[in-house]
Chain A
Amino acid sequence: MELNELLKQFKKIESNHEYRSKSRAVVLASHQNARTQSSWKPFLISEGRFGASLVMTSIIIVALLGGFSIKTTPDSGSLPGLDLAGIKAEAQAIDIQIQLTSLNYQEYAKPKSTKAVGVAPIKKEKEVANDDSALIAELKKMNGETEVEITQPVEADPGIDQALEALIL
């Protein structure tokens, strides 16, 4: 007989009938597992948890080491030969110089602007006042009225005077 035919004879091998029916009943009576999610999901979740814990651990380590190094760094006040009073005085001197420089600038700049802004209006007011008084007087003459002094004295701004004085000085 051919080998192929002999092998096919083994197809007749069967399990015990009693066992088969019992096993079938037990298998079908058992509960099915719930459909599991993607095989990657639990892996990713576990990996994510691991990653998060790793990050937290490294943050804690950095914080601890950082805190330690800050604590161990010598205080600026405890440095030998450091003259705090001298530094403070130097800082204050720098501030004073800055103030003086700005003051000089203001003194230089202030009078010019005052001249331009402050003097010109005075001149204009006077001219306008003169023109108006002449016109009013003429009108009053025509109406037969007596001449009344309408021009008012222009009050000088005290700030302008101060600025001028400062400029001269």
Chain B
Amino acid sequence: MQSAISGEASAFGSLYDFYEPKIYRFILFKVSHREEAEDLTHHVFLKAWQSIPNFKARGGVPFSSWLYRIARNQVIDHYRTKRDHADLEQVDKEFTPSLAVAHINSIAVDQNLELEKVWTAVQKLEPEHQDVIVMRFIDELSVRETAKAMEKSEGAIKVLQHRAIQKLKNILTEKA
């Protein structure tokens, strides 16, 4: 981490390899568009690399949380821009649950349907609930890391996570 902060490209390359899939997943859940998710993930790491010398100044924030913060802001900016320039072409290209599940290799066909349902249910959650589900249960961030990424207290994250799971379960039962 220190080498990456001091500007060593190979050290940051290792961080990229470790965090890129997590950030990509997080963004994909938010934008539901493969190319957009890739583009935004690229921008997140570009921004992180360019501003990593200032990372040390942000005392107490883990690197993972810092990356997720950048990703969240990128998604917010993306939606802001998209809202201003929305057109029909973009809507047609939207990601479908089956496309999302198609990303997952080596899964049984019967699981495929279940995963599609969960994907659709997660999309119906509020943004904060979505974030906490992805960070805590998919990317397996600690409560502290999630709290720092979402700029909330650890207690608030525990409450949020409980509510998010309850809502997700409710959506899935309603569908069933």
A interface list, Cβ under 8 A from B: 1, 3-4, 6-16, 19-20, 23-24, 26-28, 30-36
A10/B138 contact (C-beta < 8 A), A23-B42, A26-B46 known? yes
Interface 0/1 of B43-80, CB less than 8 Å to A: 00110011111100000000000000000000000000
A36/B38 contact (C-beta < 8 A), A3-B165, A10-B25, A15-B24 known? no
Complex: how many Å from CA A26 to CA B49?
Answer: 11
Cross-interface CB contact of A12 among B7, B45, B107, cutoff 8 Å = B107
Cross-interface CB contact of A15 among B13, B38, B137, cutoff 8 Å = B38
Complex: how many Å from CA A34 to CA B6?
Answer: 11
Q: How many whole Å from A60's CB to the nearest CB in chain B?
A: 40
- Give the residue among A13, A14, A35 with the most B Cβ atoms within 10 A: A13
Does the CB pair B38–A12 fall under 8 Å?
no
Does the CB pair A24–B118 fall under 8 Å?
no
Does the CB pair A24–B16 fall under 8 Å?
yes
Cross-interface CB contact of A14 among B21, B52, B118, B133, cutoff 8 Å = B21
A27/B168 contact (C-beta < 8 A), A3-B118, A11-B25 known? no
Complex: how many Å from CA A42 to CA B34?
Answer: 39
The A interface is mostly helix, strand or loop, or mixed, namely helix
Interface 0/1 of B4-43, CB less than 8 Å to A: 0001010011001100110011001100001001100110
| Residue in chain A with minimal CB distance to B20 | A20
In the assembled complex, which residues on chain A have CB atoms less than 8 Å from the CB atom of B169? 3
Complex: how many Å from CA A33 to CA B50?
Answer: 5
B2 at the interface (CB under 8 A from A): no
A-B contact pairs, 14 of them (CB 8 A): A3-B165, A7-B118, A10-B29, A11-B138, A11-B140, A13-B103, A15-B37, A15-B41, A20-B20, A24-B20, A26-B46, A27-B49, A30-B50, A32-B49
Complex: how many Å from CA A26 to CA B44?
Answer: 12
| Residue in chain A with minimal CB distance to B138 | A10
In the assembled complex, which residues on chain B have CB atoms less than 8 Å from the CB atom of A36? 53-54
B90 at the interface (CB under 8 A from A): no
Q: How many whole Å from B142's CB to the nearest CB in chain A?
A: 16
Does the CB pair B104–A7 fall under 8 Å?
no
In the assembled complex, which residues on chain B have CB atoms less than 8 Å from the CB atom of A12? 103-107
B172 at the interface (CB under 8 A from A): yes
In the assembled complex, which residues on chain A have CB atoms less than 8 Å from the CB atom of B137? 4, 7-8
Does the CB pair B46–A30 fall under 8 Å?
yes
The 4 closest A-B pairs by CB, nearest first: A35-B53, A7-B137, A23-B42, A12-B104
In the assembled complex, which residues on chain A have CB atoms less than 8 Å from the CB atom of B139? 11
In the assembled complex, which residues on chain A have CB atoms less than 8 Å from the CB atom of B119? 10
